[in-house]
């Protein structure tokens, strides 16, 4: 088996021109083979092991030729393949990366590789996607304990704290993901940061009642010093102003995006202060919840725990 795998890596792998699906599948396969390198190299001669390592190093660089959507698809599919098993209760995230995880769940259910699972969506649009794929859905009202939840993130710091909610689903995402035994985050390497804040605004979901007062109160919190609070306008699923009306979430609330020029000094303290503000429903700081982050980048797929 070892010789066969090494031989496969030596052979050239054709890529049909303009066939993105084949490129993703090939890169994913190579990433999977590379992840077994340490196990195989302990059973072969040093010369074969060196050749195997060199081959995997070369082939993993294929990932840098993939588009951002193709990288998202790789981590989305890997998260389901690695963490979702038959009989589980699964939380389905929201966003452009989570979309591919939902797609993979649908594929595996249709093929029969997954059976007897139920899923809890974190937004209306995820619910609609899941229904179109015939994924059985339930809610927290009937299933308060989840085996795993899978979702993307807008920023990830070295401690695996997250900023989420760019797509406006932060409240439902947090409600579902805090109930999961494992919370798997799927991102491309552009979402990794040394400090939360400057790269992506922190969304805060607030009640419509006296929303301007709540905005001022949040912006004046000691932990939020220096932030610029901006009321989200247009679509709630984008923090880019794309309309004249105030954006409304699936829950009927408003979103305030907190823009920072410098890294947040204490994300945990900020999370507590914002959450304890009257008028705030919840916020997009997800601290201490992450089990693992699956990252797609120029060197292939990696996992950080």
* pLDDT tens digits, 193-205: 999 999 999 999 9
Give percent above pLDDT 90 in the chain. 72
Structure tokens at 180: 């999961």
Extract the tokens encoding 99.
Answer: 């979309």
From 182, 157, 183, 152, select the one nearest 170 (Cα to Cα): 152
pLDDT for the residue 190 = 93
More confident residue, 102 or 67: 102
Average pLDDT of every residue of the chain: 85
The question of whether 107 is a catalytic residue gets the answer: no
What's the rounded mean pLDDT across residues 106-122?
Answer: 98
Residue 160 pLDDT = 98
Three-class secondary structure of residue 248 per DSSP: coil
Out of 173, 177, 245, 261, pick the active-site residue.
Answer: 173
Alpha carbons 282 and 265: distance in angstroms, whole number: 20
The SS3 assignment for 174 reads: helix
Q: In what order do the strands lie in the sheet with 300-304?
A: 118-121, 89-92, 146-151, 180-188, 292-297, 300-304
Query: 189 phi and psi, to 5 degrees?
Result: -65, -15
> What residues are paired with 192 via a beta bridge?
156
Please tell me the distance from the alpha carbon of residue 196 to that of residue 219, in angstroms, as a whole number.
17
Say which residue, 160 or 30, is predicted with more confidence.
160
Q: How many helices and strands, by DSSP H and E, does the chain display?
A: 10, 13
Supply the pLDDT for residue 17. Answer: 44
Alpha carbons 64 and 71: distance in angstroms, whole number: 9
From residue 16, how far is each of 20, 55, 143, 300 by CA, in Å? 9, 21, 45, 20
Torsion-angle region of residue 197: left (phi > 0), alpha (psi -120 to 50) or beta?
left
pLDDT of residue 32: 47
227-276 per-position pLDDT tens digit: 999 999 998 988 888 889 999 999 999 999 999 999 999 999 999 999 99
Q: How confident is the model at residue 131 (pLDDT cuts 50, 70, 90)?
A: very high
- DSSP H helical segments within 133-286, as ranges? 170-177, 211-219, 267-275
Tell me what the mean pLDDT of segment 121-137 comes to: 98
Distance CA 201, CA 250 (A): 20
Predicted TM-score (pTM) of the model is 0.80
CB 135 within 8 A of CB 102: yes
pLDDT of 40 above 80: no
Q: What DSSP character marks residue 61?
A: G
pLDDT in tens, 280-293: 999 999 999 999 99
Share above pLDDT 70 across residues of the chain, in percent, rounded to a whole number? 79
Half-sphere exposure (CA, 13 Å, Cβ side) for 187? 22
Question: Which pLDDT does position 298 carry in this prediction?
Answer: 80
The model's confidence at residue 46, banded by pLDDT at 50, 70 and 90, is very low
**C-alpha Rg value of the chain to the nearest Å:** 21
Strands, E assignment, 89-129: 89-92, 118-121
């Amino acid at each position: 088996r070892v010789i066969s795998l090494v031989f496969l890596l030596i052979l050239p792998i054709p890529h049909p021109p303009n066939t993105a699906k084949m490129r993703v599948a090939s890169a994913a396969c190579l990433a999977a083979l590379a992840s077994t390198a340490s196990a195989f190299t302990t059973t072969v001669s040093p010369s074969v092991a060196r050749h195997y390592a060199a081959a995997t190093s070369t082939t993993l660089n294929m990932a840098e030729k993939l588009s951002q959507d193709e990288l998202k698809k790789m981590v989305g599919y890997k998260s389901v393949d690695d963490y979702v098993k038959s009989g589980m209760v699964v939380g389905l995230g929201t966003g452009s990366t989570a979309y591919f995880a939902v797609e993979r769940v649908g594929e595996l259910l249709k093929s029969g590789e997954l059976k007897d699972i139920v899923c809890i969506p974190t937004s209306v649009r995820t619910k609609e996607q899941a229904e179109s794929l015939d994924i059985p859905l339930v809610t927290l009202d009937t299933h308060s304990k989840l085996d795993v939840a899978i979702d993307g993130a807008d920023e990830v710091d070295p401690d695996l704290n997250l900023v989420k909610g760019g797509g406006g689903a932060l409240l439902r995402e947090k409600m579902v993901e805090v109930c999961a035994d494992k919370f798997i985050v799927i991102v491309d390497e552009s979402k990794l940061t040394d400090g939360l804040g400057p790269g992506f605004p922190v969304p805060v979901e607030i009640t419509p009642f006296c929303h301007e007062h709540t905005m001022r109160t949040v912006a004046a919190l000691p932990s939020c010093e220096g932030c610029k609070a901006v009321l989200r306008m247009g679509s709630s699923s984008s923090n880019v102003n794309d309309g004249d009306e105030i954006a409304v979430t699936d829950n009927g609330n408003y979103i305030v995006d907190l823009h920072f020029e410098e890294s947040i000094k204490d994300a945990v303290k900020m999370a507590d202060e914002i959450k304890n503000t009257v008028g705030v429903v919840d916020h997009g700081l997800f601290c201490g919840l992450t089990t693992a982050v699956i990252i797609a980048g120029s060197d292939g797929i990696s996992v950080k725990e």
